[in-house]
């Protein structure tokens, strides 16, 4: 098995694993709950759940997760916005920076192997968690 899938293999006929409606919706619901509760996208739950429970490859899980975050975060932002808990000026500046950064990040991802991505993902989270607890 090659380390990298050849380009152009993602058409419907080549998609290997067809996860059930219920399992995907359940993973989504749990991720949405975390997203609304903690202001994150929910990818932190979705990516490992898709890889470990459903058997997706890391790259497929990350792509699906990122796309699902769009409606999930929109609904969450509306809930917080109605309560006055959104700083619009800060959001505008943060978003402008994010848009520049996210393209570079996605390009860098294509140069990394599945294993390496998992390792980076986990290590990154440990560092952030410790920073929050040290405070």
Residues of span 85-104 touching another protein by CB under 8 A = 85-91, 93-104
Q: Shortest Cβ distance from residue 3 to another protein (Å)?
A: 14
Task: Label each residue of 31-82 as H, E or C.
Answer: HHHHHHHHCCCCHHHHHHHHHHHHCCCHHHHHHHHHHHHHHHHHHHHHHHHH
Q: Shortest Cβ distance from residue 52 to another protein (Å)?
A: 5
Q: Is residue 116 near another protein by the rule CB under 8 A? A: no
Q: Is residue 13 near another protein by the rule CB under 8 A? A: no
Report how far residue 26's alpha carbon sits from residue 47's, in angstroms, rounded to the nearest whole number. Answer: 13
* Residues contacting residue 74 through CB under 8 Å, at least 6 positions apart: none
Q: Is residue 3 near another protein by the rule CB under 8 A? A: no
Q: Print the binding letters for residues 27-56 with another protein: x by CB under 8 A, - otherwise.
A: xxxxxxxxxxxxxxxxxxxxxx-xxx-xxx
């Amino acid at each position: 098995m090659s380390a990298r899938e050849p380009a152009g293999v993602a058409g419907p006929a080549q998609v290997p694993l067809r996860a059930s409606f219920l399992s995907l919706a359940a993973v989504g619901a749990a991720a949405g709950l975390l997203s609304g509760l903690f202001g994150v996208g929910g990818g932190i739950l979705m990516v490992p759940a898709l890889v470990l429970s459903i058997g997706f490859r890391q790259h497929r899980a990350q792509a699906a997760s990122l796309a699902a975050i769009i409606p999930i975060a929109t609904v969450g932002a509306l809930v917080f916005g109605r309560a006055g808990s959104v700083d619009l000026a800060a959001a505008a500046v943060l978003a402008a920076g994010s848009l520049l950064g996210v393209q570079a990040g996605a390009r860098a991802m294509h140069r990394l192997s599945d294993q390496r991505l998992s390792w980076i993902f986990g290590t990154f989270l440990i560092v952030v968690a410790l920073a929050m607890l040290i405070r």
